[in-house]
Structure formats: structure tokens, C-alpha cells
Structure 1
Amino acid sequence: MKVTYLVYEVSAAAGGKLRVATKEEWNRIMEQNRDLPREMRRFFIQDCIDDCGNLDCMYIETTKAEYDKWHSAHQVRYKKRKDAEGIVTLSGDISTQTEDGTLLDTMHDGINWEELMIDCIRMKELREALSTWRSWGVEMLDLYMAGMKMKASSVLSEKWKRRKNKALCQELR
């Protein structure tokens, strides 16, 4: 494994250029960083490249803003990798050594997805048809679906009577 340390000649804020540092210089910078408050520390990002089985790691000095962006993305990748531990992904067309054939043939969740989708499409079409038929058609359907069949007509007549009265009062003014 090859490790390279790139540090600023002057400082990141002063627009210094990056140069290669020795291992001893790197250790000294890290030791000094431990004693400094966070706002005065030097920040580094790590970039590792697998070059035909040889790992090439670079520690690159950067600004705090760039470090924060890198660290955030690095944490997301780390958490995803940790969450995926112990999870095995299988292809749905893998053979199952049963007479059913594939894994997809043996898995069943008890839901008829095709029928469910057709029901959703039909309900959407019904709502569209009711809204073009009468302005209160969709409201009536919603009341029926909520189990308020007996109260639906009285609720709607009261609501629409109030609307009609408001419109009439505004007209007379």
C-alpha cells in the first residue's frame, strides 16, 4: 500500500499550493491538530484508489467547507454499507429445486397486484366521471367510502344549501 500526504505550503485560506509531505511531517501535523480547537485545525480528505490490487491512498489537505462536504458524503456511504451488512440479494429467476421452478414462482405475498392496480385506475376514472357529472359527486363518493351512507345526503344538502345561501347573499349586495 502506497500512502501519499498532500499539504498546503502556506495555508488553504492564503491560496497555498499543495506539496507532498513526509511521514514525519504528517505525524507532526496530526499531533498539533489534536491540541487545536476545531476552528483552527487543518482538515484532510482521504482518497484511496485500487490499482490492480495495490491500494494507493492519498491524504489531501483541504478547506473546512470542502472537508464538510466530503465527510457528509463519506458518512452516507458508510451508513449504507453498514445497513447492507448481512443482507443477501437474490435474483428472482434463480432456480429453487422444487417443481415450482424459480424463486418468483414460489414467493407469494397474498396480494393480487394486477387487480389492485385495475381497481385504482377504475376509481380514478369514476372520480373524474363524477366530478364532470355534478360538482358534489366526488364528495358523495367519499362519504359513502367513509361509511357515512345514511348521513351523506343530509351532510351534502346542508353544505350546498349554505353555499347557495352565501352566493345569493353576495348577489343581493
Structure 2
Amino acid sequence: MALPTSIDPQSTVLFLGSGFSSGALAIGGKSPPLGRELSNILADDLGLPRERYELQTLADAYSRRHEIGLADKIRALYTIGSISAEQRTILSHRWQRIYTTNYDDLVEFAYHSNGLNVSSYTYDDPKPARIPRGSVIHLHGFVHKVKMKMLSSNWCLVRSLTYGSTLLSRHGTTNSSVT
């Protein structure tokens, strides 16, 4: 799969949603779960009925059960171990910037596999005066920055993804700081 020749990755911002991770496998051997799938996994582990509770409620309950290890669970579900040929091709290019709603490290894994370095940021990282070209911005959290104490309050564990620009502006990211 080749990119259309009319697309210049170096001058294009790539936005990745959960569908982009389809075809990748986490270190546990399964695709990273989407919102409802993650809810079901947490509900099953907690012994609760599926489809009854919102993801944030389940994450809060999960984080109070220290013996289960929510941070370790998140790492196992979202640390990528292999990617598809299509994902590798798309991420073999140096994009102006990549924004992703995904928790996983697929972009970082692909860039490393393709011999490219990348800087990754989340909403709670200190903001540089200028975010470097080619950086990855994880809008909802990042698997390599997950800590038990921060999961409930800092990770964006929701099913609705319609507020990305609000999240960016609330955390001090403006058009001038992401050029």
C-alpha cells in the first residue's frame, strides 16, 4: 500500500483514531481493545456484568483493587508487539505531526521499527515553547506514561471522543505552540 502522491507527509498532520490500531497486536497477542472492549475486560476482571457501567466508573473501581494491578493491565493491553504492513508503510514517513486518541504505542513502535526517532507528548507533559516537527501527541494518555496514581484522574477513559480541541486548549496547547 503506497500513499497517494498528492500527500506530502512532511507538511501534513496525521490524525489517528482507534481504528488505526486494528491489525496491530499488543504484547499479550491481541489487538488493543476499544472503549467498550476495555470496559468489558475490566468488568469481567471485577466480576461485574458487562454493558452496565461506564469505562471511567470501572477504571475507578479497578484502581481501588490494588491486587489486580490496573497499570500493569493497561500496559499489557496497549504495549504493541507487532504491526501490519499497512501501518508500517503509513508510519515509514516523517509526518509534520501525529495526533492520536490511542493509548497504545503503535506509532512509536512503527517509527522505531522503521529506524526513525520520535518525541511523544501527552496532555500532562510540560509544554516546550515549540513542539518539534514529527512529534506524536497522545490526546488521551500514553501507555508508557501510565502510573497507578494517575489512571483515574488523568487518563481520558471515555467512549466519546468529540472534545479533542477542548482538551488541547484546556491544557495550554494552541495553534502557535503546535507548529
| TM-score, normalization by structure 2 | 0.22
User: Would you tell me which structure has more helix in proportion to its own residues?
Assistant: 1
| TM-score, normalization by structure 1 | 0.22
Greater RCO (Cα-Cα under 8 Å, separation 6 or more)? 2
Q: Which has the greater radius of gyration?
A: 1
